Amino acid sequence: MLKNFLPDEHVPSVFDIEPEKLKDKGIKGVVTDLDNTLVAWDVPDATDEIKQWFKQMNDHGIQVTIASNNNEARVKLFSEPLEATFIYSAKKPLSKAFRQAQKQMKLKKDEVVVIGDQLLTDVLGGNTAGFHTILVVPIVETDGFVTRFNRKIERRILNWMRRKGKITWERSDS
């Protein structure tokens, strides 16, 4: 059961995920979380760096879909200026939004990666749906109410994985 919480990869931020390396692995699509993955949860718009990251992905033929548990207004406001497809109220970790994103991109499962900052939503959902998962360190240490609760559980899981030697990276919130 706990193996479903183990990401396939872990990196400090989305900026460490390069389109050339994804293409080398046969990846043609990304399903990414929004809050604390792309920008801080309380930042409404994409930063210049995120705009550049989306442009790089697009220039390399990699489709990006934003899948967020947040409401339509929040996700739409962020996604539309980037011309990114999006899924709001995704109900992660349920698999439906991940499969919906894959279907919209018209890609095979092994051509898609899931990127997010939470074990309990992004990694668990991506893994149970059968996708390659990449965990990023949250952009900020503050979170909304539900996410604060999730982080407490997540810390326990990460500490267990660390003790068992399943992960080797350090988190600033451990």
Element (H, E) at 160: helix 145-163
In this predicted structure, the answer to whether residue 52 has a pLDDT above a threshold of 50 is yes
Segment 3-15 mean pLDDT: 92
- Alpha-carbon span 56 to 110, nearest angstrom: 21
User: What domains sit in the chain, N to C, each tagged with a CATH number?
Assistant: 2-163 (3.40.50.1000)
Going 33 to 13 to 136 to 39, the CA torsion angle's sign is negative
pTM: 0.86
Segment 71-94 mean pLDDT: 96
Q: What share of the chain in percent tops pLDDT 90?
A: 71
In this predicted structure, the answer to whether residue 126 has a pLDDT above a threshold of 90 is yes
Segment 27-48 mean pLDDT: 93
In this predicted structure, the answer to whether residue 137 has a pLDDT above a threshold of 90 is no
